[in-house]
Chains A and B, each alone.
Chain A
Amino acid sequence: MTGRWLAGKVLGAFLTLIFVIVFNFFLFRVMGDPTSQLARLPQSTPQEIKQLQKDYGLDKPLLGQFADYVGDTARLDLGISQGSRRPVWDEIKDALPWTLLLVGTGTLLATILGSWMGVIAATRRGKKADDGLLSFSLFTYAAPEYWIGIILILVFAVWIPVFPDGLQMTPGAEFSSFFDKATDVLDHMILPVTAMTLMLLGQYFLIMRSSMVDVLTEDFVTVKRATGLPWHRVVRSHAVPNALLPLVTLSAIQFGAVAGGAITIETIFSWPGLGELSFQAIQDKDFPVLEGTFLVFSVGVIVANLLADCLYFYLDPRVQAS
């Protein structure tokens, strides 16, 4: 049963990935004519274009081109960046850790803060604290995250210059130790991570709040109270662990938003991750890089979804029974 369920999920994720690759192929190879991108120079002769087509295998039938494309992608040969002339995969490899650092820290903080706020609001439903937290989370949902980022720069880097307004570390600085370097990166991280956290916070808060409200009306909570257990112990030891479950599913849904946020927030803070790389590719019309970052974002979201499904399955015995 478990094996079949898992196999189904993995197969589903695999099919979604195949869809992405087919989609990418059609988008970039068929719709966006690759020779016009290869031969950017307007004075290239028809013979030169022919030669380019031959070099890149574009004179083959479409199915053959597709097979080549799948093979190249599987070998992580994602083409050459038109901006830097470096292999796209090398660019991605350099940028990925920075994005993971930003996105991971932001997600972690948003989960902790959001669920904590959700518990507070749910246990004080209808009171001032609840109303305040609800309004705050609606505001952070409606406000564009890059605008929040710009305001953070305005307030904490310009008016009260306590944090740097961009980049991941001080340019040209020599660090005497790893600790010094880490402190410098941390200093640069605070504003972008804050923007990322604020962007994700609202959803976690709303889900935790409604999940807590549901759990608090369940029979076992009443029974626990009847045993004479203090209220705060009932909340902390019995209600919260049960209410946390929907957050697992939410974190999976959120990964799509995280990818979008990475693009805009990294752009604002010149954070050298995949988002900044995508932004440069948009500006330069660097299609191979755009294609590569889209692929990596998609794979990231697909894998994250799969992991969240597995975690949910492991945590909730009700899913296993059905």
Chain B
Amino acid sequence: MSPEQAASAALIPAEAAIEAPTDEGGVRHLLLGTWRGRIGLGIVAFFIFIAIFGSLLAPYDPNASSLDTLAPPSWSHILGTTESGADVFSQLLVGARVSIVVGFAAALISAVLGSAVGLAGGYFGGWTDRSLDALENWFLVIPTLPLMIVLARILNPSLWVLIAVIGLTSWAGTGRIVRAQVFTLRERAFVERARALGAGDVYIIRKHILPNTLPLIFANTVLIVAVAILSEAALSFLGLGDPTRISWGTMLENAFDSGAPSAGAWWYVIPPGLCITVLVLAVSMLGYLFEEYVNPRLKEQEG
């Protein structure tokens, strides 16, 4: 660090700390002190636990077929069996892993891409911004699921393809939000001051712009996790999931393909969809909570 940078670093943190809306106590209160936070966190933690230990907890091998096909719930199979006689409950436990892994990994890719594009466009402005903005616009306009389908079909389905395809197609909203935030930050006194003291672009972005944008990125990324979980389920349902892994989406695909709805096999079609719905609800609830916290104007509007 050059002396100038050291000087600006010494001068600025006080003001930067006021700018950044996140502090440890606030987030803890948000998650544990409000009922929405407690329920959301509880459900997400529960599903993460299942994602890690689900295969150990499963009473049966989720792929094991038997002659007992499409059997309704009983003491030996609490959620009945599939068209191949496998245990629905075991598949449900094992399936959590794909949803959680794809949801979080794809959201992470989307957050990194969106932040990078938003930071670069918002900070440098000019042609950089105009071309990045056009790219963002394109991704915002083009229908997402058909785009994901086309990419996944060409690349051949696997877990990594799912993560990449969802991550690469869902960053534009984050980019837009980050860009707007950086636009306002760029003109603030503490950034001007750092620049006057000779701080470089990378230093200013890293020390002043990014810390003040991070809470916003975080809140947005939590909402993207929900979208990514839904996208994984939809792609898997359409037959573009990882063929070697069970997920809630592939369970619905198999159930539908084997005619379980017409056979009245509610135990096979309701649980996977319900798991997706509850997990997405819990994640979105946390996302909205963070969003309100980062942007209190939203809360006033909701009254």
Do A and B originate from a single complex? yes
Over the window 233-246 of chain B, the binary record of Cβ atoms lying under 8 Å from chain A Cβ atoms (1 yes, 0 no) is: 11001111000000
B284 touches A290 (CB 8 A): no
Over the window 149-170 of chain B, the binary record of Cβ atoms lying under 8 Å from chain A Cβ atoms (1 yes, 0 no) is: 1110110000000000000000
Q: What's the minimum C-beta distance from A168 to chain B, rounded to whole angstroms? A: 18
A240 within 8 A of B: no
Query: Chain B: which residue is nearest A141 at the CB level?
Result: B284
A20 CA to B255 CA, complexed, in Å: 35
Q: What's the minimum C-beta distance from A72 to chain B, rounded to whole angstroms? A: 18
A142 touches B280 (CB 8 A): yes
Q: Which of A31, A144, A165 contacts B262 (CB 8 A)?
A: A165
- Which residues of B are found within 8 Å of A256, using beta-carbon distances? 141-144
A302 within 8 A of B: yes
Which of A110-118, A153-161, A170-178 faces chain B?
A153-161
Over the window 117-153 of chain A, the binary record of Cβ atoms lying under 8 Å from chain B Cβ atoms (1 yes, 0 no) is: 0000000011000000000001101111011001101
Q: Which of A12, A142, A165, A291 contacts B226 (CB 8 A)?
A: A142
- Which residues of B are found within 8 Å of A213, using beta-carbon distances? 301-303
B145 within 8 A of A: yes
A278 CA to B152 CA, complexed, in Å: 13
Chain B: number of interface residues, binned into ranges: 35 or more
Number of A-B contacts (CB under 8 A): 136
Q: What's the minimum C-beta distance from A56 to chain B, rounded to whole angstroms? A: 18
A150 touches B252 (CB 8 A): yes
B264 touches A165 (CB 8 A): no
B137 within 8 A of A: yes
Which of A91-99, A179-187, A259-267 faces chain B?
A259-267
B147 touches A294 (CB 8 A): yes
B interface residues, Cβ below 8 angstroms from A: 134, 137-138, 141-147, 149-151, 153-154, 226, 230, 233-234, 237-240, 252, 255-256, 261-264, 266, 269-270, 272-273, 276-278, 280-281, 284, 301-303
Task: Pick 6 A–B contacts, CB within 8 A, sort by A.
Answer: A125-B303, A139-B277, A150-B256, A158-B261, A213-B302, A259-B143
